[in-house]
Amino acid sequence: MIEEPKFLSADQFLLTTLIVKLAVMAVLATMLARFRQFRHILIFERRGWTDRLVFALAIGLPLMAGVAARLLLNYNAADLTLEGAFLVGLIAGPYAGATVGLLVGVPALVAGEVIAIPFAVGCGFAGGGLREACPKEAIWQFTPFVFVDLRKHVWQMLRRLEPNWQLVLLVAPVALELLRQALGMRFGQRRLFYLDSLSPWMTALVVLATVLAVATPIKIWNSARIEHRLQEQEKLLLAAKIEALKSQINPHFLFNTLASIASLIRSQPDTARTLIIKLSGLLRRLIRSHQHFVTLREELESVDEYLDIEVVRFGPKLQVRKEISPDTIDVIVPSMILQPLVENSIKHGFARKVGSGSIVIRSWRENGRAIIEVKDDGMGFLLERLDAPMSSGIGLANVRERLRVIYGATYQLTLASQPGEGTTARIEVPELLAAEQITA
């Protein structure tokens, strides 16, 4: 037997239309929130006319296409004239709302719906006027769940005898939808489109859908605003943490150098004077520099200034050699990241060694990573004591923490040592050239 096709009743069809209408609005709001420029417009309440125009066009053009789809394809769920114009006015101001109202009203006017443009523009001005009247944060607090706390809002309004803006924001789209229903019934759907219903309950659902179609995008965009602010706070926190860790290194080096100068003042006053001059030059450079990232070339120049001081202390006993691959010169590294490694080699490798010693600084690129080694032929460490420099003191522990904060799990800092043969400190970080952008 061939079953007869089943059709939706008028109420079922209207209910389906309302559900699809909410889905269309939510999808549009979500898609727009993914664009950086659109999110930027949402973040700042003071918007220039260019931002307001971009905001209006970003919403108005898709809604204009929706009205055309309703006229050409009889797809009623795509018509979001009231909701779109009111929403844009509420977020971006009366003129932006009126612009959207004008855009969505043009296809309807071409089809003979002469009331469409005045009504849509009026909705835009209504949203804009409400924006001017109420606090901006009250707008972003408007959610689809406002009905859950309806009793609380009513009680607060009665107790304080002052407007409750959540109720005002709720009443406004309700009043506009009821006005559209009244105008539609008075002049007919040929003059103004509206979703006709056969019962008061379905009319109530139509009004509810209008409120939700306004509140849902606000909820989605407010979540995007909060997420953006959290990201900005994380960036600021990261920059502050890097700066704090960086500031630990400078006093660490400063105290060691001053201790060396103090020990030379009586026995070698000329050497102490030379150390003070070189130290002042290095400190002047550190004070002028507030960058978290530098090229390897700049980092090596900073290390050279430090080594000038150490060479004065140790004399010809200390030899330094560089094996820097030319393609690593412009690789970006965290500032003041090599000096603690070189200092560690001098402090632990040569402080107790008899005779001369050498330090080799090497760099190369391999498999998309920049590799830097600081190798000395000092005293070295026993295998069981190899972790001591990494966990004690400020220098290497600080370097490890800075690399962890900046690169997460993508960095490596390793120590390899043999007693009596020396120690090798090796840093591996993702390579990033100076031409690319760096953000802390």
CA of residue 72 relative to chain centroid, distance: 41
Q: What is the mean pLDDT of residues 60-75?
A: 91
Q: Are 28 and 218 in contact (CB under 8 A)?
A: no
Reported pTM: 0.60
**Residue 50 burial (CB < 10 Å; 0-12/13-18/19+)?**
exposed
Report for 6-15, 28-37, 176-185: range of highest mean pLDDT: 176-185
Structural domain boundaries in the chain: 10-232, 265-430
Q: Which residues 6+ apart lie within 8 Å of 292 measured at CB?
A: 239, 242, 243, 246, 334, 335, 438, 440
Rounded CA-CA distance 103/88 in Å is: 12
CATH class of 265-430: alpha beta
Model confidence at 415: pLDDT above 60 = yes
Model confidence at 385: pLDDT above 70 = no
Give the helix, strand, coil percentages of the chain, each rounded to 5: 65, 10, 20
Q: Which residues 6+ apart lie within 8 Å of 64 measured at CB?
A: 103, 104, 106, 107
Q: Are 312 and 278 in contact (CB under 8 A)?
A: yes
Mean pLDDT of the chain: 82
Rounded CA-CA distance 101/85 in Å is: 5
Q: What are phi and psi of 232, to 5 degrees?
A: -65, -40
Q: Which residues 6+ apart lie within 8 Å of 68 measured at CB?
A: 107
At 266 the pLDDT is: 82
pLDDT digits (tens, 9 = 90+) for 22-39: 999 999 999 998 888 888
Token pair recorded at residue 1: 């037997």
At 312 the pLDDT is: 72
